[in-house]
Amino acid sequence: MPFVDSRGRAMSTTLEPIELPDWAWERAEVRQALRARNIGAVFRHVQQYSGASQARIATAAGMTQARVNEIINGRREVSRLDVYERIADGLRMPDDARHLLGLAASRERRTGGTAFDLAAFPEVVRVYASQSSAAEEIQQQAREAQELDVLAVRGLGLIGLNDSLLRACLPRDQGGQGLRVRVALLDPDSDTLARRAAEIGESAASLAGGVQLAEARLRELAGAGDVGVWRYRMLPTWRVIRTDSTMFVGAFDAGWEGHESAMYKVMATPNGPLFRGFRRMFEAVIDCAKRTV
């Protein structure tokens, strides 16, 4: 219940939740601050778009006003995951904003229904802010793998070029022997490629050229190793890298490219649905796709 002043007018309190309009979380400068985990910049944008005071932000984030002031002015940084969680909850960040910050989806849905805590899903063992922050672990897993599956759009940053994330992990000196590689790329001749190109502000010809280049470079490996490439035609949603019993999963969205997405490290467990579901999805994509390499 709000307080009232001496004239009976309702007064807001710092205990009221801070909720920015959806468009504010979609602004480029806000998304960049989230990706960089620059909480000082996030707080400044919250002040700009909600009018919230430092005291109100402090209450929402479970901090003192002095601490918020230090963060805003660059004298202190936030590094602990539980503090990021408190800030995201206190500012009622939508899930896409949480993902940019490297956090899982909200434990409490906007409709009031509760979601499971990540602890209930031991398959999800780590959440990375982006592909770059997961790169070292992905490469380590790939070097030790017997099977490598990749679901991407064009795949140049993952496996198509000599300096790609996964290309250096392939045992080229043995011709790729001992490692089965399957790569699913978006069909450059499909209508969905043009739609995806529009989503990321790129021409369809440029995106199609990237897919064709990745395919050609992978064909160079196919003569000596177990390498296969497929073209799928559905709108890309999930970005998947599977190395044996470990997956790194991100998402394609109109607001970002796959490498910008938060990445979930998912491990196979006896009864877990996520690893099995994503692996089944990959097999379904392959079954409906056209093999080109």
pLDDT at 36: 87
pLDDT at 121: 54
pLDDT at 45: 94
The residues, ordered by sequence, that sit 6+ positions from 217 with a Cβ below 8 Å of its Cβ are: 160, 161
- Residue 41: inside a domain, yes or no? yes
**6-10, 39-43, 224-228: which has the minimum mean pLDDT?**
6-10
**Residue 60: which CATH number?**
1.10.260.40
Is the domain of 87 the same as that of 151?
A: no
Taking CA atoms, 59 is separated from 17, 18, 84, 107, 188, in Å, by 9, 10, 14, 20, 51
Taking CA atoms, 240 is separated from 51, 202, 237, 279, in Å, by 40, 22, 10, 9
Domains identified in the chain, total number? 2
Region 91-102: mean pLDDT is 84
Asked if 180 contacts 226 with a C-beta cutoff of 8 angstroms, the reply is: yes
- The string over 224-249, giving b where at least 16 C-beta atoms fall within 10 Å of a residue's C-beta and e elsewhere, is ebbbbbbbbeeebebbbbbbeebbbb
Is the domain of 26 the same as that of 136?
A: no
**Residue 183: which CATH number?**
3.30.870.10
Q: Is the pLDDT of residue 81 over 90?
A: no
Q: Is the pLDDT of residue 197 over 50?
A: yes
- Residue 192: inside a domain, yes or no? yes
Is the domain of 146 the same as that of 109?
A: no
Cα-trace Rg, the chain = 22
**81-90, 146-155, 176-185: which has the minimum mean pLDDT?**
176-185
Tell if the pTM clears 0.75, that is, is over it.
no
* pLDDT single digits (tens) 116-149: 444 455 788 888 888 888 898 899 888 888 999 9
Taking CA atoms, 163 is separated from 64, 157, 167, 209, 258, in Å, by 46, 8, 7, 18, 18
pLDDT at 5: 41
Region 206-222: mean pLDDT is 92
Q: Is the pLDDT of residue 58 over 80?
A: yes
Domain with 239, as residue range(s), is 125-291
Is the domain of 105 the same as that of 149?
A: no
Region 103-119: mean pLDDT is 52
pLDDT at 113: 39
Is the domain of 97 the same as that of 28?
A: yes
Is the domain of 95 the same as that of 208?
A: no
pLDDT mean across residues, the chain: 84
Q: Is the pLDDT of residue 240 over 90?
A: yes
- Please give the residue that has the higher pLDDT: either 99 or 233: 233
- Please give the residue that has the higher pLDDT: either 13 or 225: 225
Give the C-alpha separation, 84 to 78, whole Å: 7
Is the domain of 143 the same as that of 43?
A: no
Is the domain of 135 the same as that of 228?
A: yes
Region 249-259: mean pLDDT is 85
pLDDT at 32: 86
Is the domain of 133 the same as that of 266?
A: yes
Region 162-167: mean pLDDT is 86
- Residue 74: inside a domain, yes or no? yes
The residues, ordered by sequence, that sit 6+ positions from 46 with a Cβ below 8 Å of its Cβ are: 18, 20, 52, 57, 91
Q: Is the pLDDT of residue 225 over 60?
A: yes
Of 84, 114, 144, which residue sits at a domain end?
114
pLDDT at 172: 54
- Residue 18: inside a domain, yes or no? yes
- Residue 80: inside a domain, yes or no? yes
Is the domain of 94 the same as that of 30?
A: yes
Is the domain of 90 the same as that of 43?
A: yes
What percent of the chain is modeled with pLDDT above 90? Answer: 41
- Residue 120: inside a domain, yes or no? no
Give the C-alpha separation, 255 to 96, whole Å: 9
Of 114, 144, 175, which residue sits at a domain end?
114
- Residue 3: inside a domain, yes or no? no
Is the domain of 40 the same as that of 97?
A: yes
Of 61, 93, 114, which residue sits at a domain end?
114
pLDDT at 233: 96
Q: Is the pLDDT of residue 179 over 80?
A: yes
- Residue 211: inside a domain, yes or no? yes
Give the C-alpha separation, 108 to 89, whole Å: 9
